[in-house]
Amino acid sequence: MKTTINQVSNYVNQEVTIGVWLANKRSSGKIAFLQLRDGTGFIQGVVVKADVDEEIFKKAKSLTQETSLYITGVIVEDTRSPFGYEMQVKNLEIIHEAKDYPITPKAHGTEFLMDHRHLWLRSKKQHAIMKVRNQIIQATYQFFQQEGFVKVDPPILTGSAPEGTTELFHTKYFDEEAYLSQSGQLYMEASAMALGKVFSFGPTFRAEKSKTRRHLIEFWMIEPEMAFTTHEESLQTQEKYVQFIVQSVLNQCELELTTLERDINKLKAIQAPFPRITYDEAIDLLKEKGFTDITWGEDFGSPHETAIAEHFDMPVFITHYPKAIKAFYMKPDPDRDDVVLCADLIAPEGYGEIIGGSARIDDLELMEKRYEEHHLTGDAYEWYLELRKYGSVPHAGFGLGLERTVAWICGVDHVRETIPFPRLLNRLYP
């Protein structure tokens, strides 16, 4: 019977054949332990010299790393491994012999691994991270479908710059100038006026000259947008969504979290509602924590975010930022014109901001005023104003950065390991 590693629990004490690669091996004169992977998982194959043809044992002992083969044997339970099963090998048939695989089981430097990302992805840790990433994507679709959202796909080539003009990738669009999307938000607002509650999931691009463990040049964002919705209601959706994805990973990716040595008690503790502090309170808290030179009106950097996160041990919303450091479309607090109805959600354990969101200005006159202040002119922005001309409604939305969320849930230090082929300041290869 031909099967895959993730299905072997259905074949205990039965003989199966699996197409695999050799990840690693250990052998003595009498026995060989093969670490095998097939994409769906990892399993140990045990070849006992006394139980197989001499030629099979010889072949097993000489297998090289990443050689592909069909392996046949009996599946048995193995209580010592977290996976729970192993294979007693009876036969093997080499498909393609790999020679001199560059990534050996010894430790390699990060640059070397990044240069070999196309191969590094095969390793157990990277495999686990990609599986968690996939689970978060699945959970995202599930959550928003069950909450009554419609998936909408905003364009990637655009003429507008929702998050400011300094970080744009320019490209030719025949005779016009276009940019790669920084955020689908403006289009999602238009879509919310057509479909009520919508969400997008797509790549976004920022030509940021930041070389930090939280910044990618190309990253994936989930952007929900909701008509007839207040800032407060948006915060409730955000915490419910984040709790949902954490639960979903805990339920579906136990083995992967074990591989990643993630402290799952920290994840199990994630329960909505999340704590909230205003920007003003955050400034006071930072001063108490020794950031004495921070002044009102400054944006927070990662040391500030980390200090605030440590204080709560739970994702925390920082709300009501100064208008001057936030995007043009954010709605001012009706009680106070110098701050806006917005929130950043800061992940625990120093993983930084995972969500940015706000209520949007729905008043035409005020939006026109912002256009002037931000010098937003031309066709690219004209249509967005029209959303405030025809049946404007209170609405709010947010963007969750997938890679930072994967980094937090997996407990990996740097976002470069959370996307299959990272685009970084100094890296377009592979």
User: Cβ(221)–Cβ(404) under 8 Å?
Assistant: no
Of 38, 147, 353, 368, the one binding ligand 4AD by CB under 6 A: 353
357 binds ligand 4AD (CB under 6 A): yes
Closest contact distance (angstroms) between CB of 287 and Mg ion is: 23
Of 71, 283, 354, 412, the one binding ligand 4AD by CB under 6 A: 354
User: Cβ(353)–Cβ(305) under 8 Å?
Assistant: yes
Q: How many C-beta neighbours within 10 Å does residue 199 have?
A: 27
356 binds Mg ion (CB under 5 A): yes
Span from 50-58, 177-185, 348-356, 403-411 in contact with Mg ion (CB under 5 A) = 348-356
Q: How many C-beta neighbours within 10 Å does residue 212 have?
A: 13
User: Cβ(55)–Cβ(20) under 8 Å?
Assistant: no
Going by their DSSP bridges, the two strands 42-48 and 68-77 should be labelled as unpaired
Of 41, 154, 162, 422, the one binding ligand 4AD by CB under 6 A: 162
Q: Kindly state the tokens that stand for 48.
A: 């006992």
Residue 13 Ramachandran class (φ > 0 left, ψ -120 to 50 alpha, else beta): left
197 binds ligand 4AD (CB under 6 A): no
The site partner of 422 among Mg ion, ligand 4AD, none (C-beta below 5 to 8 Å per kind) is none
Question: What mask of x and - would describe binding to ligand 4AD in positions 302 to 341, judged by CB under 6 A?
Answer: ----------------------------------------
135: which residues sit within 8 A by CB, 6+ positions away? 248, 249, 252, 253
Compare residues 164 and 303 and give the one whose CB is closer to ligand 4AD. Answer: 164
Closest contact distance (angstroms) between CB of 398 and Mg ion is: 10
Distance CA 339, CA 96 (A): 63
Q: Scanning the structure block, which residue is given the tokens 């930084």?
A: 352
Distance CA 70, CA 48 (A): 17
422 binds ligand 4AD (CB under 6 A): no
Span from 100-108, 148-156, 314-322, 355-363 in contact with ligand 4AD (CB under 6 A) = 355-363
206 binds ligand 4AD (CB under 6 A): yes
Compare residues 135 and 358 and give the one whose CB is closer to Mg ion. Answer: 358
Compare residues 323 and 404 and give the one whose CB is closer to ligand 4AD. Answer: 404
CA neighbor of 302 nearest in space, from 313, 312, 291, 314: 291
Question: What mask of x and - would describe binding to ligand 4AD in positions 120 to 159, judged by CB under 6 A?
Answer: ----------------------------------------
Compare residues 34 and 318 and give the one whose CB is closer to ligand 4AD. Answer: 318
Compare residues 86 and 344 and give the one whose CB is closer to ligand 4AD. Answer: 344
The site partner of 399 among ligand 4AD, Mg ion, none (C-beta below 5 to 8 Å per kind) is ligand 4AD
Distance CA 23, CA 121 (A): 12
Bridge partners (DSSP) listed for residue 15: 74
397 binds Mg ion (CB under 5 A): no
CA neighbor of 397 nearest in space, from 120, 108, 191: 191
Q: How many C-beta neighbours within 10 Å does residue 373 have?
A: 10
Bridge partners (DSSP) listed for residue 399: 356
Of 308, 397, 410, 422, the one binding ligand 4AD by CB under 6 A: 397
Amino acid found at 369: K
- The terminus-to-terminus CA distance of the chain in angstroms comes to 37
Closest contact distance (angstroms) between CB of 6 and ligand 4AD is: 30
Span from 91-99, 230-238, 279-287, 392-400 in contact with ligand 4AD (CB under 6 A) = 392-400
Closest contact distance (angstroms) between CB of 186 and ligand 4AD is: 8
Bridge partners (DSSP) listed for residue 343: 319, 357
Amino acid found at 107: A
41 binds Mg ion (CB under 5 A): no
CA 86 to chain CA centroid, Å, is 32
Closest contact distance (angstroms) between CB of 401 and ligand 4AD is: 2
208-237: which residues touch ligand 4AD (CB under 6 A)? 208, 215-216, 219, 221, 223
Closest contact distance (angstroms) between CB of 72 and ligand 4AD is: 45
User: Cβ(202)–Cβ(153) under 8 Å?
Assistant: yes
Going by their DSSP bridges, the two strands 150-151 and 197-205 should be labelled as parallel
CA neighbor of 360 nearest in space, from 119, 132, 183: 183
348 binds ligand 4AD (CB under 6 A): no
Kindly list the residues in this chain that would bind ligand 4AD in the complex (CB under 6 A): 162-163, 183, 185, 206, 208, 215-216, 219, 221, 223, 353-357, 397-399, 401, 403-404, 415
Note the residues at the interface with Mg ion (CB under 5 A): 356
